[in-house]
Structure 1
Amino acid sequence: MKVLICGKGGSGKSTLSALISVALKNLGYRVLLVDADESNLGLHRLMGISSPISLMDHLGGKKAFKSKLSPSFPKGPEDAIFSKRMSSGELSEACLAQADGIRLLVIGKINEFGEGCACAMGLLSKTVLSKLDVADDEIVVIDTEAGIEHFGRRVDAECDMVLGVTDPSFESFMLAKKMQEMAEKADVEIF
């Protein structure tokens, strides 16, 4: 099962992602925690570990990633990056950190002034999730960036469930309503 956690900035998405990962591991599941938030630098700290190299950097960085995509159109970008489906065990160990049996995969981060938008990270998140096969005893928890851009990039369509996190503000409730509408269009259950 793939569970995507989203909501307004500062609502507790990363904290909840870490806590849910620990709870699921304690229930006997194998857990892959995916850090798909290109701006927040602290998820690995919540897990008490050092951050692994990001998958984007492991693939050569944004420029190399984009150059792999150019020849892929009209095939589709997913096939240019990962040509076949994979299990979480096939992810490169160089991109994974472990915390008490929970594996952490960081998609990518904005590292430099002026490096451009995070579009490549959104596409890489969608690609990884679309190609990732999950075993019955495994749960993938995806911590996303603030807001709803991941819905616009169809990242949520690759998941089995969306968990919306809110705080007690008007903006948060308005965003929750929008997330519910978008999840319904993606045919993904939202809580």
Structure 2
Amino acid sequence: MKAVVIVAAMLAGSGALAATAPTQAHSPAPAPVTAAREPDVIYLPTPPQVVDAMLEMAKVRKGDVLYDLGSGDGRIPIAAAKKYNVRAVGVDIDPVRIKEARANAAAAGVADKVTFRQEDLFKTEIAGASVVTLYLLSSLNEKLRPRLLAELKPGTRIVSHAFRMGDWQPEKTRDVEGSTIYFWTVPPRK
């Protein structure tokens, strides 16, 4: 039944059901949503047990605001909102993933707690995060690292699935069913 709800929500969001609704002759066709540029990585979903371990490692708690950079189908922000009752923001450049994530959040009953933004993760506003989750490549984590250190408040927790951040040594690592997750805390500014 849950799959039917998700598919129905995705179809409703995609405009596939619009053919059954009356249309006005003077309404312009909606502009197609496209990515500003190609994504830097292919979409690979994070396994549920890794999602849970990432959120546990970050010690997500009431009052946190989680940002998932490269959020794909939204599973990490949705899990954080559902399990920990926190606000979450997913950022992805792919409009298909954003539409899917929004439908998934609605189906999970957390659309009021989760926002998905179709933006470039290297340009999006991140200063409001107290937790950041990543599933990018090591090279992308390294490219993102100066922004994380400059824009996030000291104490912000960062968790990466599978990829490190160059010579910035993680404070913790954990293996979860063949996947490694890494944890850092933004240090005090000098």
Q: TM-score range by the shorter chain?
A: 0.3 to 0.5
**Taking CA–CA contacts closer than 8 Å with sequence separation of 6 or more, which of the two structures ends up with the larger relative contact order?**
1
User: Under a length normalisation based on structure 2, what TM-score does the superposition of the two structures give?
Assistant: 0.36
Decide which structure has the larger Cα Rg and report it. Answer: 2
